[in-house]
Amino acid sequence: MKVLVADDDPGSLLVARAAVERSGHDCLTATDGDEAWALYLERQPDVVVTDWMMPGLNGLALCRAIRALEGDRYTYIVLLTSQGSRDDVLAGLEAGADDYVTKPLDPFVMHARLLVALRVTTLHADLAHYRKVLSRQARTDPLTGLHNRLKLSEDLEQLHARSQRYTEEYCVAMCDVDNFKSYNDIYGHQAGDVALRSVADALAAAARSSDGLYRYGGEEFLLVLPNQSQPGAKAFMERALDTVRELKIAHSGDPTGHLTLSAGISAFTDGHRADADTLLGEADKALYAAKAAGRNRVELAL
């Protein structure tokens, strides 16, 4: 672990540093609270061992500053003090300290506290990792690996707010695999899953790095196209439909003999500052119009 020790008493600092290094950990030292805070920000230690009374930030203020800043990562904090009253113990714990050691420091006690700190910080690191994994899984479609509707809702909210603020255009394109029910009926659901993954990969290859691609549900996909005009979005989607056609996925139930897509596009513009839900509804209606007009095409919202 990386351990930061802050103490304005040179003798106590020397003993603490020796105890930390003897326990097999890297040690950073600071002689006042302000230096300790600067080192904390720069080096992000796993453990902070801090004197209560010292120049600059005192131990309680340093505890509060660390707790106010940290997010997923957790810093284990041990307060060193010659004050051992119950009120002092409670004040330290309420400020965010995990443990409390009275001076003069016993190296054995320090070693024991660091063993506990290692267990606690390891546990917090594992929990933070699992939270990230679960958060990513909650926003990912398991079949295609694309973002799902939860992630769409979050991303679209941010994009809409930014576009409103800076008067930028963006488009949403709703896509649907044509005659997909008959594809599943003819080739089976496993083949249907393979086809959906292939379509997802083709759309991902066609999209810009700034575009958002989501599985909207079933055989529907949605693309969010920042800083894109409606004519530009239509040209892009026509190329994306070409990319899917070039896969040449055989479909005897489709008039073309291959799997195709239809798409509907709506746009947020200076003259049409609709909310995000309205845009999704307009894109869906445009998709319906593309289906009604014969499929395998792109239609714009009126």
Contact 32, 56 (CB under 8 A): yes
Contact 265, 300 (CB under 8 A): yes
Cβ-proximal residues to 161 (8 Å cutoff; 6+ apart), any chain: none
| 35, 169, 219, 299: the active-site residue | 219
Q: Is 94 a catalytic residue?
A: no
User: What is the token pair recorded at 280?
Assistant: 């999704």
Pairing of strands 2-6, 261-268: unpaired
User: What is the token pair recorded at 143?
Assistant: 């079949």
Question: Could you identify the residue written with the tokens 């546990």?
Answer: 123
Q: Residue 94: phi, psi to the nearest 5?
A: -65, -30
CA gap 183, 195 in Å, rounded: 9
Helix (H, G, I), strand (E, B) or coil at 254: coil
Within the chain, where are the H helices? 10-22, 33-43, 59-69, 86-95, 107-138, 149-166, 180-187, 189-206, 230-245, 276-292
Neighbours of 265 (CB within 10 A): 28
Contact 169, 163 (CB under 8 A): yes
Contact 230, 175 (CB under 8 A): no
CA gap 253, 143 in Å, rounded: 23
Neighbours of 1 (CB within 10 A): 17
Contact 283, 301 (CB under 8 A): yes
CA gap 4, 101 in Å, rounded: 15
The whole-angstrom distance between residue 287's C-alpha and the CA centroid of its chain comes to 31
Question: Could you identify the residue written with the tokens 């003993």?
Answer: 15
* Catalytic site positions: 219
